[in-house]
Each structure stands twice: as structure tokens, then as C-alpha cells.
Structure 1
Amino acid sequence: MLKQTTIDNVITAALSTGGDFAEIFVEDKISSRLEMQTSQIERAITGRDYGVGIRIFSGLRNVYTYTTDAEEGNLIEVAKRAAAALKGDDTHVQPLTREEAQIVNEITRMPSDVAYDEKVRILKEADHIARAYSDKITQVRVNYIEDEQRVMIANSEGKFVEDLRVHTRFSIMPTAKEGNQIQTGHYGPGASAGFEFLENLNIKHYATEASRIAVTMLKAEECPSGKFPVIIDNEFGGVIFHEACGHGLEATAVAKGNSVFANRIGEKVASDLVTYIDDGTLANEWGSLNMDDEGEATRRNVLIENGILKGYLVDKFNARRMNTALTGSSRRQSYRYNPTSRMTNTFIANGTSTPASIIQDTEYGIYAKYMGGGSVNPATGDYNFAVMEGYIVENGEIKQPIKGATLIGNGAETLYKVDRVGNNLAHGAGMCGSVSGSIPVNVGQPMIRVSEMTVGGTKEEV
């Protein structure tokens, strides 16, 4: 993507004022989007983005800049301007040594090689299935996303590695209407894979399930408010702990002391039933990577084990601040962003309870089958999340559906209140936003029960 002589010259320029580390990140990304509404493709977009990011360290100072002009003279000038912000001792530059990235995500069929009509056919199939579920389905939106990203990373320590990242995602959102009631359902599976992901996807399952959610919620009653045991199902249920716990375990927050988990390695921070893992090596999962955005191999990082805090997610710069090892967790949206520690596929590990036994052992509570959006204060872990599909549980049985439910709490406190963990781990694909942009991540967990949570609803408190 850049000649080695160009890389050498740019790194030398970046260290010309005495910085002790320099890095070049080159990205060439082609993205395509298809959106279907009213059973027709209403938007089809393809774009290409190319650019180079240059990062320089001097001790605990960090400068980052980027450009879309990859001509050698311009890159050298950009590197020198960035270097002018730093002063330090002379640095020895290591010769570049080409590395081969580990292969976590095998790609069988590049999306760009697939005919447009083949993609449209699958979207039309999903649209037809979703509409056929019920005459209450009045609208269906189907989206298809594909990204092909080629990156090259080189630094003054001699690292020189290239990678290909391919992401494919399908999402469907049906709308159901009955009288004055309108409800939507949603499902959006994705993978770090080529078009083979969509070819092998059970379109009928996802389209039917999305419509079922919308139609079911038409019959939902107002959710009671109060403090109850809450059962949170697998897959997208993991979004609560991703937001309220996972971000607090990233060195981005920990290194500055802006996390409730800072300086607590070896301490008990959760129920004995909770083991929390971030694993970027799960084959073809949405958040998986062959290597992170510093060229480090991704790995399986056990963050909490049986309730004990074991570690954090650490990038190169924050490793300096914390005097600790890298974890292959540095990520960014694109060359426009300075990378930092981020999650990949983060999940609560399987427990020993069956989902049926968790429900049967709950006298009264809320069952959150699918979670919606929410917000969290990363410094405190305080959160609130909407329940997309929820139910009352009474005398060990799932009863009537409820709407308007919001789960409110604090991540650190909720970790202690997990009193049952199921054996049906599943992952859900999503996008995570933070200081280094929006990136693909998986959230996951088996079904869990939290002994008590504050539930916000529109029905009188019980």
C-alpha cells in the first residue's frame, strides 16, 4: 500500500524531534449499502475511503494526525508537523520486519465479487417472509451492509504487517399496526466474513422472529414500575454489561482512574457466578479480528473470573501509563481516529442453570427477551436500557407481554446481584461508539437472573 522506502522516510521524519515511537496506519476501505423499503431497493450506495494516520509517542505524550494524500513528500511534511509538537531524546529506528497476521476470519467469497441481483434477491426474500407473517405487518425495512477494509501497520519498533478485514451484515425491521397501536421488531446479525455469511444465514428465522416481536408487542400491557428480579435472555441481553461493565474495563478509562474497576486487580467485583471474557479470536464473529489496529494479534482476555477481577483491555499507549502488557485490544473506526483500547466480542461465560429452571424458580419478576437501546455513564457505571420485548413472570411461568419497560441500575452493583447464569450462551452483533469512533462488536451472554433491579414503567408501582 506504501513502498517500504516511503515508510522508512516517514517514520524517520516523525521521530526527527526525538519522539521515542512512531507508527503509520494505512487504510483502503470500500463500503456498500443496500436499503429496501416498500419491497423495493430505495437506496444503494458504494464508497471508497483511503487515508494514512501517523502517531508519535514521547514518553506519556501522544500526537496523532492523518491525511488523505499518500504522496511521499506530503506524508513526510505531515509527519514533521506532528513531530514539532514533541521533544525528546534521539531514537533508534528498528528495521522493518514483515509479519504475517494470524487468520481468525477466513473469507470464502468476497462481497464485491457477488452480483447486485444476487444480493437483492435475498433482501426480497426476507421482505416477503416478514410481510407474510401477519396482515398486521404494514412496513418492512431490510438493510444489507458490506465492508472490505485493507490495512497496513508499520512502526519504529520494526513491525510491518498487512491485513484484510471483511464485514457483512443483514438487518430487518418490520412495523406492525393494529388500531392506534404501532410496534416495531428488529434483528441484525452480522459477521467478520464474506458473502458466504448471507448465503448460509437462516433468513426465514430472522425475518419471522423480527415480525413476531412487532406483532407480539401490539398486545403488550403497560409495564409495572418497582424493584423486581429480572431475567435477561441471551444474545442481545449482553448489551447491559457491555456498556455498564465492559467500558469500565478498557484502559482508556482505567489508566486515568475514570473507572470503578481501576486498581482493583485480584479483588472481588462480581457474583461468584460471573466470568466475563473478551475474545477477539472467535472465528468469523462480528467483533473478531486477525489483528488489532496496532498490528497485535487478538486474543482471549479473561477480565473477571468467578467474580474476581483478572485484567483489563490494554492498548500500546495506555500500557505505558499502566506499566502493563498489551492485550491485542487497540481499535479505531478508521485512519481518522487515534486508536485506543476497545472491546471485540465480550460476553458472560456459560453457567450451569437451564433457562427453564431459571424461569421456574422465579416467583414474580420481569423477563427481558430482547433488549433495546440505552445509555450509560462510563465513569460511574450508571445505566438505563429499554426492553424491546418483555414479559411478566409469575409463579414460574412467562405471562403477558409488557411494553415501556426500562432497566435502571449501576453496572458494578448489578454484577454482584447476578444469582443465576444459564447454559445457553449466544452472541449479538452491534456497533460500539467511543473516543476512537464506531466499531463492530459482539455482545453476549447466556440467560441470567439479577436478584433485584429497578424497573421503570408506566403502570402504577407494585
Structure 2
Amino acid sequence: MGRMVVIDESVVAGTLSEALATGGEFAEVFVEDRRSSSALLDDGKVEELASGRTRGAGIRVVVGETTGFAQTSDLSEAGLAGAARAAAAAARGGGGGHRVVTLDRLDVPVSPDVELLPESVAKAAKVELLRRADEAARGAGSAITQVSARYADGRRRILVANSDGLLAGDDQVRTRFAVSCVAVGDTGMQTGFESVGRPVGFELFDEYEVDTLARTAANRAIIKLAAQPAPSGSMPVVIGAGGGGVLFHEACGHGLEADLVAKQASVFRNRVGEQVAHPEVTLVDDGTMAREWGAYAIDDEGRPAQRNVLIKNGVLTDYMWDLLRARKKGRESSGNGRRQSYQHLPMVRMTNTYLANGRENPGDIIGDTDRGVYVAHLGGGQVNTATGDFVFGMSEAYLIVNGEIGPPIREGNLIGNGPEVLAGIEALGNDFAMGSPGTCGKDGQGVPVGDGTPTLRVASMTVGGTAA
């Protein structure tokens, strides 16, 4: 695979010089060439079969506290120069002077090798995966009335250059498959979902059987047909390995992003060095995790991905940083500057965010819980980063009765506060697992992320159910 977008380095250097010609203090060129394809099978029919390609550059110029930004799909020398002038004008009108930029190529770790580029695979082979998944899901039981299966892949080649002399590139490939099922019974309509995604090529399906994924999604829907309404009130909650990472991503991770901290929109503002969680809790954001959904070689500002320990043994140690906010603090970026595409400015974003392993046997954690709720998988939710308050749905959950996992429950939410949950963790298992691939939305931009946890128990959380 190529390491970056093919574009003449002298053109990039000239574009940066043009961007600085009106007195800019910092300039950056981000070039992207993206290919994607997707296929959707719904109710036994192929409803979507799409492919696309976008190519362009985003140029930003910084003067003091002002950032000028322009984007263009014209990658000619003239097109880039025009965008550079527009960005510079937005940052600072008038002025003068000229600055020559010399670029030094940055050697970075190579993204995982791709054995079979998805763009080289026939559409028929991708559709066949969907049909297999549909058949397997419907074969799980007559209660399954609807099946939706989606395949998606993408290849993103980027080049980043800036006026500090940086020149770096990456070639990112991702492949994903998801199945959603609906089951109908005496309790009405219930849903089940399962997905897998990796920064690899079509060889993903040598490792993961779509039939198995489909049956898992179908069984989740079927199990909930016999579920009883979720209880209400405060009680111990056990979250299974890999099943609740999204809670910590949303309720804690966003509050540790330096831009939200600077805007005073984080409950963790000015708390570095403080004990914010149980002493056994370590929270990590790691863009170097090979084969995990949020991994990459460089971020979208050219900084190599890093493993950043945010909370260590319960103590808040650092935030996540992008380039500009790090420069203001006289430090280096943590490799968390990300953007959805060349049409967007980078901002501080998570990669793969997880709670590190504990020491306890997961069976003992459940066995030591007399009564509570076991959450195998959390669903979607929302959080107020300024307060840490959150609400999450439980897509697969069970009662814990006398230290054993009991009947399934449905129609329940977890309600709580991020810092309070961190402080309330009283047991961490030794069975760490990453969860399903996700897309994190922030300020209108979506980027791929991963999350994970070992089995853990929170002493008390509010369960919002419908049981009388």
C-alpha cells in the first residue's frame, strides 16, 4: 500500500509559503484521498450498493488566537495556492512578507498490513456475505421477522504538512459488518444487534464468520421476548467485559479532552493530580492498539499515535491534546488531533479508550453481588460533559439474584454521573475485552473509535426501569 497521497512535495511547500505570506504564524496542509463502498440488505433485498471517492485538501492558517480555514477539491498548484490565500485572509487580512518552508519527512510506524484491499473485491462477494447473514439470522428462530445486514469498507490516504517542517502520511483501511434483527412475541417487538470492525482489509472475514455474528444478533432479540421489565431504583450494577466501554468513553473520556477543558465544559477541569476514581482504576486512550477500530499510525495533524494514560491508579494524570492547544501550553500533542475529512478542522478526539484490567475473577464479582443488574451490552446514551451526568440504554441486561445471573430484563436505562461512577467502582475483573466498533460524534464530526472494559462492579447506580 502507498503511505500517503501522491502529490509533489514542492507544491505542498509552496502552498505553505503562500499561506504564510500575509503574516501567518502557523500553517498546515491536510490532503486526503478517500474511497468507500457499502452494501445494505434489508428484508431479504439488497437496498443499497454504493461506492464513492472524495479527494481534496484543507488548509489552515493561525494568527494569534484566530484560525483561518479553507478547503478545496482542486489539488492543482493553483487550486491549493488559492485555498491557502483564502485561509490566510480569514486569519489575518493584509500584511506582507514571505517565508520559505522546508519539509522533512517524518518516519512513523506503519499501519497494519492489509492482505486484501476491499476495493479489489467484487461487489458480488460482499453481497454474498449479507445473504449468508440474513439466512443465519432467520434460521435462529421463527420469532425473527426482520433482518438488516450492512457491509462497509473504506480506504483513506492522507498527507499532512505544516510550517514547522513536518511532512507525514498514512494509508488507513477499515472494514466493518453489522447485523440488526427484530423478533416479535408476546412482549411485542424486541431488537438485537452485533457488529465487528477492524482497520484491516477483506481478510476480516477469514477471522469472523458472518453467520455467527448474525445468530448472536438474532439470539439477543429472541432472549428479550422472555424478558421481564427492568427494575427501578439504586442498586449494584455489574458491567460485563467489553460491554460497557461506551459509558466511560462518553461519561469520562469527553471530559478529558483538552478543548472541552479549556471551554470550562468539563467536570474534570483543574483536577490533574487529584484522586478521581477508585485506586485500582486506570483509564487509557491508545491510538496504537493494532487492529482496534480507533487505531492509526498518525493523527490528522501528523503526530504519531500514542498510548496516553489519563487516569492512573485513580489519579487524574493528563488530558488528551491536539496540536494547537498543546502549543499554547508549551507541550507536545498527545496524538489526538482528528478530523472527519479534509473539509473539517481537527479537534481533540479519542481513539481507543478503555479501563485497564483489574485482578479479580469475573465470576467472583458476580458471585459477591447478592442482588443487582448485570449489563452485558450498553446501548446508546447521552452525557453532559460539564456535569458528567449521563443516561444510557441497556441493550442486553439481566437480573443478578443471589450471586447468579438470572432472568433477562428489558426497557431499562442506566442513569448516573461519570465521576461518581469512577469513584464507585469497587471491583475490576481480569478479563479485559474491547467492545464493538463505534463512531463518535462531536461538533458535527464523526470519527471511528473503540472502547473496552474488564468485568466491573459499581457499588450503586440508578436503574430506570418500568417494573412496578
**TM-score, scaled to structure 2:** 0.95
The reply to whether residue 110 of structure 1 matches residue 111 of structure 2 is no
Query: Where in structure 2 are the equivalents of 1:310-329 lying within 5 Å?
Result: 310-329=317-336
Q: Which residue of 1 aligns with 2:53?
A: 48
The aligned amino acid for 2:454 is P
1:76 to partner: Cα distance: 1.4
1:92 to partner: Cα distance: 4.6
1:258 to partner: Cα distance: 2.1
Q: Which residue of 2 aligns with 1:449?
A: 457
Partners of 2:356 and 2:453 within 8 A in 1: yes
The reply to whether residue 343 of structure 1 matches residue 344 of structure 2 is no
1:127 to partner: Cα distance: 1.6
Q: Tell me the number of residue pairs that the alignment of Structure 1 and Structure 2 aligns.
A: 460
Match of 1:411 among 412, 418, 421: 418
Report the Cα distance in structure 2 between the residues aligned to 1:319 and 1:456, rounded to whole angstroms: 40
Partners of 1:93 and 1:158 within 8 A in 2: no
The reply to whether residue 217 of structure 1 matches residue 224 of structure 2 is yes
Partners of 1:14 and 1:79 within 8 A in 2: yes
CA deviations on 1:37-61 (whole Å, 9 max, x unpaired) are 2333221011111111001122332
Q: Which residue of 2 aligns with 1:459?
A: 467
The reply to whether residue 249 of structure 1 matches residue 252 of structure 2 is no
Mean Cα deviation higher: 92-101 or 53-62: 92-101
1:459 to partner: Cα distance: 1.6
Query: Where in structure 2 are the equivalents of 1:353-392 lying within 5 Å?
Result: 353-392=360-399
Q: Which residue of 1 aligns with 2:65?
A: 60
Q: Which residue of 1 aligns with 2:27?
A: 22
The aligned amino acid for 1:419 is E
The aligned amino acid for 1:68 is S
Partners of 1:236 and 1:443 within 8 A in 2: no
The aligned amino acid for 1:453 is M
Query: Where in structure 2 are the equivalents of 1:113-192 lying within 5 Å?
Result: 113-179=120-186, 181-192=188-199
Match of 2:245 among 217, 238, 242: 238
Mean Cα deviation higher: 67-76 or 111-120: 67-76
Mean Cα deviation higher: 35-44 or 214-223: 35-44
1:360 to partner: Cα distance: 0.5
Q: Which residue of 2 aligns with 1:6?
A: 11
1:233 to partner: Cα distance: 1.2
Q: Which residue of 2 aligns with 1:300?
A: 307
Mean Cα deviation higher: 141-150 or 76-85: 76-85
The aligned amino acid for 2:174 is H
> Helix, strand or coil for the counterpart of 1:235?
coil
Report the Cα distance in structure 2 between the residues aligned to 1:200 and 1:6, rounded to whole angstroms: 42
Report the Cα distance in structure 2 between the residues aligned to 1:228 and 1:64, rounded to whole angstroms: 50
Partners of 2:70 and 2:86 within 8 A in 1: no
Match of 1:430 among 429, 435, 438: 438
CA deviations on 1:360-384 (whole Å, 9 max, x unpaired) are 0001111111111111112221100
> Helix, strand or coil for the counterpart of 1:206?
helix
RMSD over aligned CA atoms reads 1.6
The aligned amino acid for 1:426 is A
Q: Which residue of 1 aligns with 2:447?
A: 439
Partners of 1:168 and 1:198 within 8 A in 2: no
Report the Cα distance in structure 2 between the residues aligned to 1:308 and 1:366, rounded to whole angstroms: 28
Report the Cα distance in structure 1 between the residues aligned to 2:81 and 2:282, rounded to whole angstroms: 47
The aligned amino acid for 1:76 is A
Report the Cα distance in structure 1 between the residues aligned to 2:214 and 2:83, rounded to whole angstroms: 49
Partners of 2:111 and 2:170 within 8 A in 1: no
Report the Cα distance in structure 2 between the residues aligned to 1:90 and 1:383, rounded to whole angstroms: 51
Report the Cα distance in structure 1 between the residues aligned to 2:419 and 2:342, rounded to whole angstroms: 34
C-alpha change, 1:167 and 1:204, in structure 2 (3 Å) is same
The aligned amino acid for 1:20 is E
1:90 to partner: Cα distance: 6.0
Report the Cα distance in structure 2 between the residues aligned to 1:26 and 1:330, rounded to whole angstroms: 15
Q: Which residue of 1 aligns with 2:3?
A: none
C-alpha change, 1:436 and 1:154, in structure 2 (3 Å) is farther
> Helix, strand or coil for the counterpart of 1:186?
strand
1:269 to partner: Cα distance: 0.8
CA deviations on 1:9-31 (whole Å, 9 max, x unpaired) are 21111111211110000111111
Mean Cα deviation higher: 380-389 or 3-12: 3-12
CA deviations on 1:192-212 (whole Å, 9 max, x unpaired) are 111111232133332221111
1:267 to partner: Cα distance: 1.1
1:81 to partner: Cα distance: 2.1
C-alpha change, 1:248 and 1:91, in structure 2 (3 Å) is farther
> Helix, strand or coil for the counterpart of 1:152?
strand
Partners of 1:27 and 1:151 within 8 A in 2: yes
Report the Cα distance in structure 2 between the residues aligned to 1:71 and 1:348, rounded to whole angstroms: 46
Unaligned runs of 5+ in 1: none
1:128 to partner: Cα distance: 1.5
Report the Cα distance in structure 1 between the residues aligned to 2:320 and 2:138, rounded to whole angstroms: 43
Q: Which residue of 2 aligns with 1:267?
A: 274
CA deviations on 1:415-446 (whole Å, 9 max, x unpaired) are 00000111111112111001361000001101
Unaligned runs of 5+ in 2: 1-5
Partners of 2:144 and 2:182 within 8 A in 1: yes
Report the Cα distance in structure 2 between the residues aligned to 1:90 and 1:263, rounded to whole angstroms: 40
Report the Cα distance in structure 2 between the residues aligned to 1:262 and 1:322, rounded to whole angstroms: 15
C-alpha change, 1:47 and 1:387, in structure 2 (3 Å) is same
CA deviations on 1:272-292 (whole Å, 9 max, x unpaired) are 121000111111211100111
> Helix, strand or coil for the counterpart of 1:187?
strand
C-alpha change, 1:297 and 1:28, in structure 2 (3 Å) is same
> Helix, strand or coil for the counterpart of 1:295?
coil
Partners of 2:17 and 2:101 within 8 A in 1: no
1:234 to partner: Cα distance: 1.9
CA deviations on 1:369-427 (whole Å, 9 max, x unpaired) are 11111111122211000001111111101111111110011101110000011111111
Partners of 1:93 and 1:157 within 8 A in 2: no
Report the Cα distance in structure 2 between the residues aligned to 1:269 and 1:179, rounded to whole angstroms: 45
Partners of 2:17 and 2:98 within 8 A in 1: no
Mean Cα deviation higher: 214-223 or 31-40: 31-40
1:77 to partner: Cα distance: 2.0
Report the Cα distance in structure 1 between the residues aligned to 2:342 and 2:91, rounded to whole angstroms: 21
Partners of 1:340 and 1:436 within 8 A in 2: no
